[in-house]
Amino acid sequence: MNRESGILMPVFSLASKFGIGCFSREAYEFIDFLEKSGQGYWQVLPFGPTGFGNSPYQPFSAFAGNPYFISPEVLIEEGLLTWDDVNGVDFGNNQEQVDYGKLYENREKVLKVAYDNFIEACKKAKDKSSDKEITDDASTDDEKKKDPAKLFAEYKEKHSFWLEDYALYRVIKNEQEGKSWLEWPKDLKTRDKKAIDKVKTEKKEEIDFICFIQFKFDEQWEKIRKYAHKKNVKIIGDLPFYVAMDSADSWSHPEVFLMDKDLTPTSVAGCPPDAFSATGQLWGNPIYDWAALKKNGYSWWVERIERNYQWYDTIRIDHFHGFSEYYAVPYGNETAEKGEQKKGPGMDLFNALEKKLGKLDMIAEDLGNTTEENIKLLKDSGFPGMKVLQYGFTSWDSIYVNHRHERNSVVYTGTHDNTPTFAWVQEINDGERDFTRRYVNSMNTDYGALVWDIIREAYRSVADLCIIPIQDYLCKGREARINTPGTSEGNWQWRLVPNFLSDDLARSIRLIAETYSRIPKAPAKEDSESDEK
């Protein structure tokens, strides 16, 4: 890997007219900002559809995209919506915070209007096609490209592994008033063929609507990703290690998880008791049946990783050490005290993935897990690990300070789980702040200036890749924190105020990137073309 840098900016944190950051013009403008700033990467958080708590790390599906990210603006440009369809809708009125309640109430209603108009457009295109005699082969190809029904049908076929199951899950969940699939009637819970066929027949339009949402999600994101590549910007995505217990994945593929014959989980994920929690942490995610997965070549994981590479260039694996070892708690326990540490699949999984998908471009979230097994897996995989400076400056002789970094790693000032560095500087104790100043050789008493000195320290690292959260460049405080682990209030809500990213800021970032040799090189194709000239 060449020395490069990028910015961590969740899609939902982009500015937009629609209550949440989405695939609207602001996404393209952010890519333009990255290019001006000399940045080669845009790191985003998981794309999955969120449920209760709004966490992208507990999505309804490991394969589906978040409907809230679909841009009504693009649908208007396509003629599937009008501004009148959108202007009167309440998506929330706070430019700096996402109102998920308002989005839940109103976003799908707008998308349903777009779907109805799409179906009407498909009918008109079909009528037009049947009335028109096409004799030229090229014309036939052009007509096929423009045929929305054909494009939609091809999409559904391409994504058949997960799409219909996800749509069924969402439709049945709505019919069951939002209940977890574990509480559904037995015939639906166990996917009895007769019961499922009945849903497919009676709810055909609703199922098709859910598929349409995913069709538009992928269509819009693909255009943004292509635009990013044109601007020499790559995308780092985030992959949660576990799936949610109440998800399309655990319902449609129970064979992937440890469940009994009645589809009741036998154990769930958690964290053992430690100095921070005497009873441990009970996460509640279903545990993978690694033995069963191994027998079929980890096919579900192959499909999952392949799907993520349709969205991202590089995948950051959250909770990477789960592949080395994981903590399983008997289902039904109220605390994590009686859990058991078990071995994960290790390199066997990654070897299977590489055999099917080729070389994996991944980043390992290896924070705070430095057992011999985890260190060995990281080394054997060859994936870069993470170095977070905030952790380095508050722990004596930490592995996260610059002089202990290595090239094959990714350095951060902080992550989405940390408080923005400006607030962090305010809140640490005097001794830690003095140590930070000494380490980065900063005499600045102004906290904003000190934040930029810490950013500079990250750029100075030998780590191949440097990622800075956008809040740190803007010297934002605690109000801009993305997530506080262990809490449920106020997370995943922060948004950037419109027109807040200036050319002056871009120039300042670019200057640091140039100083520490992190400007991305031109793509190999362009290099070869210039060589030929």
Q: Which of 60, 71, 68, 65 is nearest to 24 (CA)?
A: 71
| Four-residue CA torsion sign, 479, 481, 483, 486 | negative
The verdict on whether 77 is a catalytic residue reads: no
Residue of 99, 108, 361, 417 marked active site:
417
Segments in 319-469 forming alpha helices (H): 347-357, 372-381, 389-392, 421-427, 430-440, 447-460
Amino acid identity of residue 63, one-letter, is F
C-beta of residue 384 within 8 angstroms of C-beta of residue 464: yes
Q: Which two structure tokens, joined as six digits, stand for 22?
A: 């989405």
The verdict on whether 318 is a catalytic residue reads: yes
With a CB cutoff of 8 Å and minimum separation 6, the contacts of 474 are 480, 500, 505
| CA angle in degrees (0–180, nearest 5) for 246-250-256 | 155
Residue of 4, 73, 365, 366 marked active site:
365
DSSP code at position 329: E
With a CB cutoff of 8 Å and minimum separation 6, the contacts of 285 are 242, 243, 244, 245, 268, 269
- Count of CB atoms situated within 10 Å of the CB of 317: 22
Sheet holding 325-330, edge to edge: 281-286, 267-271, 325-330, 340-343
Residue of 73, 318, 453, 457 marked active site:
318
Name the phi and psi angles at 330, rounded to 5.
Answer: -55, 135
With a CB cutoff of 8 Å and minimum separation 6, the contacts of 314 are 41, 234, 235, 236, 237, 361, 362, 363
The verdict on whether 446 is a catalytic residue reads: no
For the annotated catalytic residues, the residue numbers are 318, 365, 417
